[in-house]
Structure 1
Amino acid sequence: MKGGSLTARVLLFASVWAVIALVAIAIVISQLYRAGSERAFDDLLRAHLNSVINAVTINEDGRLSGNPQLGDLVFDQPGSGWIWLVEPLGELDSPRLASISIDAGTLASPPVEDLPFNERYQRSYSAVDVEANQLEVIETEVELDDQGRAARFRVAGNREVLEAEIAAFSTNLYLVLALFGIGSLMVNAVAILYGLRPLDHARQALGRVRAGEAQQLDGSFPREIAPLVGEINALIEANHRVVDRARMQVGNLAHSLKTPIAVLINESRDMAPSHQKLVRAQAETMQAQVQTYLDRARIAAQRGSVLARTEAAPVIERLVRVMAKLNRDLDFATDIEPRDAVLAMESQDLEEALGNLVENAAKFARQSVIIRLRTVPANEGQRPMFRIEIDDDGPGLDEAAMREAMKRGRRLDESKPGTGLGLSIVEEIASEYNGSVALAKADLGGLSARMTLPALITEA
């Protein structure tokens, strides 16, 4: 689930979208519920107001009379915030009528100039009672008889009750949506991981190809990625054909040049000593250079192959055993870590490059040669590499001589056999695999040849 993972991207997008959608749904539903609750609250107050109006009249004594029964005990509970109040207006001389809940208190009313009545001759406003309850008040004025005597009718509801109901609904809503969101994210994660599993199977199959365990991507894949798998298999098959054709052409060329060069070398034996040395040396140099370029062509043909792989430890140990037999006066040692290191190159190329370096070390070593293999620390995003170091306890080289030794055909010690092509051949092999070769002073006191080569990447 790394930053560059397709699974992580899909999961992140789905999760962010689900969170945004659920938050938006919660806000919309909460606002709709609030609007509906406030509308129902206002309708309830108007219904209570009409009930009070219908229950109040003027009696024979010219006073307000009536006992509204609103069917809700909150109007009979002091300090509940639910109030009905009837107050005489104008010439009507009568005490007011009020619910038990307001007792002797009153409600402040804004001037009509500031808050006029609507077309139904009603108005609503907020108020605070003696108990500090936040109230919503519905008010109207009604004529009660044909003499024009009128009264002000008011019904108030405790808005805190409304807010408490809305808050309780919102809390339950958020809890339910949160649980639903968590469940949805888990279901999405399972669905996405299950849906993308074929891609992981394809990656594993490609890893088996790179590790040399299979020749193509095997398995059953969904139709969405089946064409991609088919194209990869076709590419692998085409790569096989290119490599086989290059190997065949290299072999043909080697055979065609091997005999003429061998004839030149043999014929030089019958020449005069002055010419024999020159012709033989040039023929041997030509033979070495031809082999170098043939190897280079073969390496170039195989460099892009996903099947190029070599276990380093067996090659190093086999080469050390051979060199130890040829140089019984020298002590050859190995220090390989990790033991399971696998290089992304052909084994014969590693053998040739490593053989040149070990042979050079054996020529100049006094007593010992050591071959080490280590993992090269790599920055993020870089391909993993291994470094093979061949150290000897010989005379070594200074900085200028090291640079000169890397040039093609240069021999710093003419007393030693060779063509001067060894280090340059090694450098060409390493560079064809995107590696490198460098010389440095060895801990043993002699020369340290360091060859850096790419590790095999087994994961797609």
Structure 2
Amino acid sequence: MKRGSLTARVLLFASVWAVIALVAIAIVISQLYRTGSERAFGDLLRAHLNSVINAVTIDANGQLSGNLQLGDLVFEQPGSGWIWLVEPLGDLASPRLASVSIGEGTIAVPPVSELPFNERYQRSYAARDDQGNRLEVVETEVELDAEGHAARFRVAGNREVLEDEIAEFSGNLYLVLALFGIGSLLVNAVAILYGLRPLDHARQALGRIRAGEAQQLDGTFPREIAPLAGEINELISANQRVVERARMQVGNLAHSLKTPIAVLINESRDMTPAHGALVRAQAETMQAQVQTYLDRARIAAQRGSVLARTEAAPVIERLIRVMAKLNPDLSFSTDIEPGHAVLAMETQDLEEALGNLVENAAKFARTGVAVRLRPVPVGEGQRQMFRIDIDDDGPGLDETGMREAVKRGRRLDESKPGTGLGLSIVGEIASEYKGDFTLAQAPSGGLSARLTLPALITQA
């Protein structure tokens, strides 16, 4: 998935949302479990406290007595952190009653001024026993007889047991949610990739159109994409109609002008030599210029077509073979890289541009002409371009001559045949296709014509 991919965006959003949701769920459930566990822990301690209160009395000797059966062996295990403790208050002269788990130790009692009793005359607080266990203590004071003898009742539970249970639950919860989250992300990825497959099919269909393998978007698309595919097909059809109409109009105009210009040229032969030469020269110039503007109109009509494509290597090689036969005294070489370069332009326009440049180079070359094709380095997001260099080893031109050579109708060497329109036509073709045409000094010392043209846009 490339940068800016719709699939990547959807997957990223779904994944981030799933992770956030699962983390939030884990935190909420863990906190709810902690709250419930702490409440249950407190209720258990208060239940044990009530059992201790109900089991303890003052006997006939004025001593605390009772047979406590709390039903939990942890109170019988020394150092377990589970303790019950009954201590006399006031003038009640009696030894304390305590669980086996506390041994001879005790639990510090916080002042009532710092931690008062609640409306049920109970209070709870954290403490530590002699073994260092973290305790949660529930305490109350109860009068045991009509004479006002009272005792302090306390039940303590090991807080670390509660924390271990909460930690174990949280660990299991996080593991289950992590596995569920990974599964959900995989399912989401599969669902998103499957759901976006029609867009990939549409992209491939567009690629086939650009490659010249199809004329329209073919295939069955979902309801959400079908209107877009229909609009694209209509746009392609409209584009083709515009191109065909432009070609027809160009042909009609060429046919209508062909006869009048031919008549002018024929009539010039019956005129006096001076006037006839003038009329014939002007008619031939007019014929060339009309053809040039007709070509421009045709190029403008074809330029926006997504179907315009030309493989550069066959055109260059075919042109070089023809020029080599016409100029047997010159050597022609080609250097094409990559060999599969495809340009976004009509074949006849590429042939006309290259034909003008190679023909011009052959006129002035001393021993040979070299044609080289290379991709042009472009920045990210810019369209790929190719540059074709046509170099000769002729006399070349200076900076002023190069500027003059590309102007319409300028012929720097009158001894050579031509109308002076070739280089300007090349510049116009390059401009119409959003390319570029420049002249420079060739490595061999002659002239280098550099034609930059757009590559066919393809989808990876």
Residue 157 of structure 1: CA displacement? 0.6
- Distance across 1 between alignment mates of 2:362 and 2:456: 29
CA drift of 1:126 comes to 0.6
Q: CA RMSD in A?
A: 1.0
* Partner residue, 2:405: 405
Q: What is the rounded CA distance, in whole Å, between the counterparts of 1:458 and 1:24 in structure 2?
A: 44
> Deviations for 1:270-303, whole angstroms, at most 9, x for unmatched residues?
2222222222221111111100000000000011
Q: Which residue in the other structure is 2:115 paired with?
A: 115
Deviation at 1:55, TM superposition (A): 1.1
Query: CA contact under 8 A between 1:343 and 1:455: conserved in structure 2?
Result: yes
Using structure 2 for the length normalisation, give the TM-score: 0.99
Question: Is structure 2 residue 342 aligned with structure 1 residue 342?
Answer: yes
Q: 1:331 aligns to what?
A: 331
Report SS of the residue matched to 2:100: coil
Q: Is it true that 1:245 corresponds to 2:245 in the alignment?
A: yes
The letter of the residue matching 1:402 is M
Matched, 1:106 2:106: yes
Distance between the aligned counterparts of 1:18 and 1:149, measured in 2? 63
Deviations 1:115-170 (A, max 9, x none): 11111110001111111111110000011111111100000011111111111111
Aligned residue runs from structure 1 range 203-242, under 5 A: 203-242=203-242
Q: What's the counterpart of residue 152 of structure 1?
A: 152
Paired residue type of 1:88: P
Contact 1:343 1:453 in 2 (8 A): yes
Q: Provide structure 2 residue ranges, at least 5 long, that are not aligned to the other structure.
A: none
The AA in structure 2 aligned to 1:345 is M
> Residue deviations 1:387-438, cap 9 Å, x none?
1110000011112211121211111111111111111110110111110001
Report the 3-state secondary structure (helix = DSSP H, G, I; strand = E; otherwise coil) of the residue aligned with 1:440.
Answer: strand
- Residue aligning to 1:181: 181
1:390–1:450 Cα contact (<8 Å) kept: yes
Counterpart for residue 77 of structure 1: 77
The CA deviation at 1:457 is: 1.3
Aligned to 1:25: 25
For residue 287 of structure 1, what is the aligned residue in structure 2? 287
**Alignment-derived partner of residue 446 in structure 2:** 446
Aligned to 1:127: 127
Give the aligned partner of residue 270 of structure 1.
Answer: 270
- Alpha-carbon distance between aligned partners in 2 of 1:362 and 1:260, rounded to the nearest angstrom: 34
The separation in 2 between residues aligned to 1:321 and 1:187, in whole angstroms, is: 59
SS in 2 for 1:114: coil
Cα distance in 1, alignment partners of residues 245 and 98 from structure 2: 108
Q: Distance in 1 between matches of 2:331 and 2:271?
A: 42
Corresponding residue for residue 380 of structure 1: 380
Q: Which residues in structure 2 correspond to 1:296-375 (within 5 Å)?
A: 296-375=296-375
2:163 corresponds in structure 1 to: 163
Q: Is the 8 A contact 1:136 1:158 kept in 2?
A: yes
- CA shift for structure 1 position 111: 0.7
Distance in 1 between residues matched to 2:311 and 2:459, nearest whole Å: 17
What does residue 62 of structure 1 align with? 62
Matched AA of 2:165:
E
Distance of 1:189 and 1:196 partners within structure 2 = 10
1:306 aligns to what SS in structure 2?
coil
Write the deviation string for residues 253-278 of structure 1: whole angstroms up to 9, x where unpaired.
Answer: 00111111112122222222222222
- The separation in 1 between residues aligned to 2:3 and 2:22, in whole angstroms, is 25
- 1:358 and 1:269 mapped to 2: Cα distance? 33
Q: CA deviation at 1:459?
A: 2.1
Shift of 1:223: 1.1
Q: Distance in 2 between matches of 1:274 and 1:365?
A: 34
SS of residue matched to 1:270: coil
Q: Secondary structure at the match of 2:102?
A: coil
CA drift at 1:62? 0.7
Tell me how far apart the structure 1 counterparts of residues 67 and 160 of structure 2 sit (CA, whole Å).
27
Which segment drifts farther, 294-303 or 3-12? 3-12
How far 1:338 sits from its partner (Å)? 0.9
CA shift for structure 1 position 367:
0.6
> Which whole-Å deviations, capped at 9, do the CAs of 1:331-374 have from their partners, x for residues lacking one?
11111111111110000000001101011101100010011111
After superposition, residues 46-57 of structure 1 pair within 5 angstroms as 46-57=46-57
Code of the aligned partner of 1:263: V
Q: Secondary structure of the residue that 1:101 maps to in structure 2? A: helix
Distance in 1 separating the partners of 2:365 and 2:421: 19
Whether the aligned pair in 2 keeps the contact of 1:208 and 1:458 (CA below 8 Å) is: no
Distance 1:14 1:135 in 2: 45
Report deviation, 1:229.
Answer: 0.7
Q: Percent identity?
A: 84
**Segments ≥4 residues shifted beyond 3 Å:** none
C-alpha distance in structure 1 between counterparts of 2:423 and 2:257, whole Å:
24
1:194-251 residue CA offsets vs partner (Å, 9 max, x unmatched):
0000010011111111111111111111111111111111111111110000000000
Q: CA deviation at 1:68?
A: 1.3
Structure 2 counterpart SS, 1:388: strand
2:436 alignment partner AA: S
* Count of matched residue pairs: 460
The answer for unaligned runs of 5 or more in structure 1 is none
